Amino acid sequence: MIRSLLIANRGEIARRIIRTARKMGIRTVAVHSDVDAAMPFVREADEAVCIGPAPARESYLVQAKILEAAKATGAEAIHPGYGFLSENAEFAEAVEAAGLVWVGAPAHSIRAMGLKDAAKKLMVEAGVPVTPGYMGEDQDPAHLKAEADRIGYPVLIKAVAGGGGKGMRKVDRSEDFADALLSCQREAASSFGDDRVLIEKYILGPRHIEVQVFGDRHGHVVHLFERDCSLQRRHQKVIEEAPAPGMDDATRAAVCEAAVKAARAVDYVGAGTIEFIADASEGLRADRIWFMEMNTRLQVEHPVTEAITGQDLVEWQLRVASGEPLPRTQDQLSINGWAMEARLYAENPSNGFLPSTGPLTRLRLPRGIRVDSGVEEGGEVSPYYDPMIAKLIVTAPSRPAAAAKLAQAAARVEVWPVRTNAAFLARAAADPDFVAGRVDTGFIERHADRLVPTTEPSAAIEQAAARALLPEGSDAWTRLIGFRANAAAERRVEVEVAGHSRLVAIDDGAAGGKLRAVGSETLLFLDGEAWPVEAPRADHAGGGGAVSDGALLAPMPGKVIAVDVSEGDTVTKGQKLLVLEAMKMEQAMLAPFDGVVAELNASVGGQVSEGTMLARVAKAED
C-alpha cells in the first residue's frame, strides 16, 4: 500500500483526497500557490510545499515544480485530483519516469480518450454507438461550415481536446456558424493549447447520462451504475443525481455494458466516466443513447455514486494504484436509495451568473448532509480559480425525498458579501418539473424566469424582516439598525431591505428568515439569499451592461481578450464590441443601442477591475 501521497491539486479536491488518505493511514503532502497558503487543504495536509504564484500556469500546472516537491518530501505517489493535470498523459509518464506511483489512468488510455474525434472512432470500432457528426482532420473554416450544413442545424461545435464545458458552442443557424467557430477555437486554444474542433448533431431535449467505471491491473473492469447530469448551465453541471430518473433495468444494463466495453477498449485502469447523450423525447431507451466522451479521471460528482453504492472511490483509486484488485466484483455492487449533489458557486444569478469574488465574511453551510468544501468563513473566493464554494450532497430513500432535502439544504446557506447561486439551487430542486423528473439539458434556460431570484425585495422578505423584530421590547428592537416600530398595536413595522423602505403589516403565518449581524451590517438570510436590512447602500453586484448614457462597465474583474471596434465606429444594437475573460468564462460586451463608439478604454491583454468603464456608445443624435 502507498504510504505517502502528494496531491497535485487544491481546494475541495485536495481536502477530499486528504480525508480518505488519513483514514487509510497514508501521509499527505499538499502543494499550493502563494495565494492559497492559508487555505484549509494546506493546513490539513501533513506537509505542504509552495510551488509558485497564483496563476495556475505558474504553479499548479508546472509539472517540474510538482515533481520537485514530491522528491523533496519523500512522497511515493501523486494523485492529480480532478482538473489541472489529471488528464495529462505527459505528466502521468513523467510521474512514473521519476519512480513515483501515478494515481490515475494510464497514459495510453488518457491519450486514446483525450481527443474527442479519435475517441469516437475508437468507440465505433469497439461497437459502442456514437452520435452523428464530423471528426475529420480538415479544419478549414469553410469545410467545417459545409459539414455543419450537411449534418443539419442545430449543431454543437466542440474542442477536440475539450472538457468541463469549455470550447463548446451550440449553433442554430448557418449564418451564425463562422462567429461561433472563431469563439470556440479561441477558447479551446486558451484552455487546452489546441484549437481543433469536431461537430456533432445537437440532440433536442437531450439527457446527459454518465456511467462510473473502474478498472484494475488484473484485467477486471466494473461499473458503479449511472448518474444523471442533465441539469446544466452553459454546458456545465449544476445538479447531479444517481441513479438516473426514468432508467429501467433493461436500459441500465445496456448502457452500463456499453460503458464497460468502452473502458476495456482502452485497457482502462483506475476511475473513469463514460459520458452518454440521450434523446429522451420518448423516455430513456437503449437505442437512443450515444457515447459522447470519456473522462479519464474521478469526477466532481463522484459523491452521488459513493452514496448509492456505499463505496469510497478515492480509496478504490489508492488501492488500485497500489496494485491491488478492485475491492468489489460486479455482482457485489448494487443501488441503494437516491442521491443528489448541487454545486454551490460564488456567482450572481441576477447578473448573468457572473463570478463573484471577495472575502467570505460569513459562510454557514447546512448541517446534517455531506458538504465537500474547499473554503471556510474568514477566507476568500479568489479570481484565479474555479468559483465553487462547496458541493451539497444529500441522500434519501426516494427521488422526491432527495429533491426536497436538497432544496432545504440550499435554502439554509448563508454567505456574505460574496453572492452565490444558493437560492437558484433551492428553487431548481423544488421546481415541480424537476421533482417530477421532467429534466433535460435545456431545463434551466427554459425555466430561467422562475429559477433566477429577483434583486427586488419581495413581500415574503419584508414579512420575514418584520417578524424578526418581534416581540416589541425585546433586544432585537434596540440592536438592529434600519428598523423603526410604527403603530405597534396594529402590528406594523417600517422595514428597509436592500435600500427599499416598506410599511409592513405583520403576519404571524409568514415565512421567517434569519437576521444576522455581519461585521457592521445587518443582514436577512432567507431561502439562500442575503439581504441588507439597514440604511440604503450601494448595490454590491456592480455593473454588467449599459447604463443610460451608453457606458459599458466590466461586470467582473478580468482580462480583455478581444476588441472588435475602434473609437468613432458606427455600431448597431446588440453588436459585439469586446470580450472579457475571467475565471474560465468569456463575457461579450454588446452595444446597448445604435450609435457611435464615443469612448474606448480597453485593449487586448489589458486587466480590468469590476465596474471599470470599458467603452461608451453615444446615440447618433448625441
Q: What is the pTM of this model?
A: 0.76
Q: With beta carbons less than 8 A apart as the criterion, state whether 58 and 35 touch.
A: no
Residue 506 has pLDDT above 60, yes or no: no
- pLDDT tens per residue across span 212-228: 999 999 999 999 999 99
Residue 400 has pLDDT above 60, yes or no: yes
pLDDT value of residue 507: 45
Q: With beta carbons less than 8 A apart as the criterion, state whether 302 and 271 touch.
A: yes
Supply φ then ψ for residue 406, to 5 degrees.
-70, -40
For residue 209, give the H/E element and its range.
strand 206-215
Contacts of 462 (CB under 8 A, 6+ apart): 495, 497, 502, 504
Handedness of CA 354, 446, 233, 580 (dihedral sign): negative
Whole-angstrom distance, CA of residue 597 vs CA of residue 523: 41
Which superfamily is assigned to 207-451 in CATH? ATP-grasp fold, B domain (3.30.470.20)
Q: C-alpha cell of 152?
A: 443539419
pLDDT value of residue 453: 61
Q: Residue ranges per domain, the chain?
A: 4-103, 132-201, 207-451, 459-532, 551-618
Residue of 180, 286, 301 whose CA lies nearest to 231: 301
Candidate from 7-11, 421-425, 495-499 with smallest mean pLDDT: 495-499
- pLDDT tens per residue across span 68-93: 999 999 999 999 999 899 999 999 99
pLDDT band with cut points at 50, 70 and 90 for residue 514: confident
Residue 99 has pLDDT above 90, yes or no: yes
Residue 247 has pLDDT above 80, yes or no: yes
- pLDDT tens per residue across span 564-576: 999 999 999 889 9
- pLDDT tens per residue across span 448-501: 999 986 556 666 666 666 655 554 444 433 334 333 333 333 445 555 555 555
pLDDT band with cut points at 50, 70 and 90 for residue 230: very high
More confident residue, 314 or 193: 314
CATH topology (fold) of 132-201: Dna Ligase; domain 1 (3.30.1490)
CATH topology (fold) of 551-618: OB fold (Dihydrolipoamide Acetyltransferase, E2P) (2.40.50)
Provide the residue type at 226 as one letter.
E
Whole-angstrom distance, CA of residue 560 vs CA of residue 564: 11
- pLDDT tens per residue across span 348-360: 998 888 889 999 9
Beta strands per DSSP E along 249-288: 270-279
Architecture of domain 4-103: 3-Layer(aba) Sandwich (3.40)
Note whether 132-201 and 207-451 share their fold: no
Count Cβ atoms below 10 Å from residue 410 Cβ, excluding itself.
27
Burial letters for 463-499: b for 16+ Cβ neighbours within 10 Å, e otherwise?
bbbbbbbbeeeeeebeebebbeeeeeeeeebebbbbb
- pLDDT tens per residue across span 438-451: 999 999 999 999 99
Candidate from 7-16, 77-86, 254-263, 473-482 with smallest mean pLDDT: 473-482
Residue 423 has pLDDT above 60, yes or no: yes
User: Catalytic residues, which ones?
Assistant: 297
